[in-house]
Amino acid sequence: MGPAGRLGGAVALVTGGASGIGRAVCARLAQDGARLAVADRDEAGAGVTVGGLHAGGGTPHAGSGGSPQPHAAFGVDVAEATSVTRLLDRIQEHFGSPPRICVGCAGITRDEFLLRMGEGAFREVLGVNLTGTFLVTQAVARALVAAGAPGGSIIHVGSIVGKVGNLGQANYAASKAGVEGLTRACAKELARFGIRCNAVLPGFIVTPMTDKVPPKVLEKFAGMVPLGRLGDPQDVADVCAFLASEDSSYITGASVEVTGGLFM
Ligand code: NAP
């Protein structure tokens, strides 16, 4: 779909947009006509994502003021409140409006068995995956409400591991279970502003994050997936595009599993 596509030039913030699932979400939302604010602590990587969007035909559209650069890259640490506040200010300066779509893909793993896990590794993962999701959601919602903007779609990238747990991932599973609870509370509070909030729960998706998983473990999970393969970032991006669009206008507080049927 071209730049005047179904997202109609809406500003879309994607955190974690320098890599993996976030980068694929950026590409898909741009195809659907959104103007992307690609944010990551890897600002250079976010710039590479933006370069790819422009090379892939991110041309100006009605409402972008004829700017030849409808997408932009930003550095952010989602775990730091001041960094997130500054991000929202910069996005509004750049695009002239707050993001009506937000996809929170920034996330980390620090795997270790419970008996050996340090408190630092637990707090670090909670800090990025859960507190970071809270800070970005709150900042986007505040900006939308302040602007009186009708509507909005906030999408949290959780994980199926938040539902079923996983060996060596007590910190990660706890953070992603928290993200689901956060999603449902935000959906209830933000509905009166016309802002929807949903979660996607990927299974095993091949990205730089899964490079850290031993190949034997990945093979084992691939064999367990009813659809017979590990996931691709595009599989998750397509669901995010649906949740970002008006095609899902009566869906809020939902968690959509994107797992190929794993753990159903
Ligand atoms: P990825 O390739 O590692 O991408 C994550 C991106 O987030 C990286 O660019 C990372 O930067 C960035 N990031 C990390 N901490 C940040 C922070 N504090 N502030 C801003 N950016 C930060 O991982 P992915 O596989 O695409 O994962 C994306 C999301 O999907 C994550 O939330 C992950 O938990 C979730 N997920 C992934 C899978 C999977 O199988 N891949 C499954 C379920 C859920 P650095 O590289 O500098 O850390």
Q: What is the CATH number of domain 11-258?
A: 3.40.50.720
Cα distance between residue 236 and residue 244, in whole Å: 12
Structure tokens at 116: 């050996």
> Which region, left, alpha or beta, applies to residue 8 given φ > 0 means left and ψ of -120 to 50 means alpha?
left
Going by pLDDT thresholds of 50, 70 and 90, the confidence category of residue 231 is very high
The predicted structure's pLDDT at residue 24:
98
The answer to whether residues 202 and 163 touch, using CB atoms and an 8 Å cutoff, is no
* Mutate which of 25, 28, 40 for ligand 1 pocket (most atoms within 8 A of beta carbon): 40
Residues of the chain with pLDDT > 70, as a percent, come to 94
The rounded Å distance from CA 106 to ligand 1 centre is 4
Structure tokens at 144: 């939308």
* Mutate which of 207, 212, 224, 232 for ligand 1 pocket (most atoms within 8 A of beta carbon): 207
Of all protein residues, the one whose alpha carbon is nearest to atom 31 of ligand 1 is 107
Of all protein residues, the one whose alpha carbon is nearest to atom 4 of ligand 1 is 19
Cα distance between residue 67 and residue 27, in whole Å: 19
The rounded Å distance from CA 38 to ligand 1 centre is 13
Report which ligand 1 atom has the smallest distance to the Cα of 207: 25
Please say if the pLDDT value at position 61 is more than 60: no
- The pTM assigned to this predicted structure is 0.95
172 catalytically annotated: yes
Catalytic residue among 74, 95, 134, 172: 172
The predicted structure's pLDDT at residue 213:
83
pLDDT digits (tens, 9 = 90+) for 174-210: 999 999 999 999 999 999 999 999 999 999 999 998 8
Going by pLDDT thresholds of 50, 70 and 90, the confidence category of residue 64 is very low
The answer to whether residues 226 and 260 touch, using CB atoms and an 8 Å cutoff, is yes
Cα distance between residue 157 and residue 68, in whole Å: 30
Per 3-state DSSP, the chain is made up of helix, strand and coil in percentages (nearest 5) of 50, 15, 35
* Mutate which of 25, 209, 239, 240 for ligand 1 pocket (most atoms within 8 A of beta carbon): 209
Of all protein residues, the one whose alpha carbon is nearest to atom 16 of ligand 1 is 106
Q: Is 61 exposed, middle or buried (0-12, 13-18, 19+ CB in 10 A)?
A: middle
Torsion sign, CA atoms 77, 103, 36, 94: negative
The rounded Å distance from CA 263 to ligand 1 centre is 22
| 72-75/35-40 β-pairing | parallel
Going by pLDDT thresholds of 50, 70 and 90, the confidence category of residue 60 is very low
Cα distance between residue 134 and residue 112, in whole Å: 25
The predicted structure's pLDDT at residue 210:
87
Average pLDDT value over all residues in the chain: 93
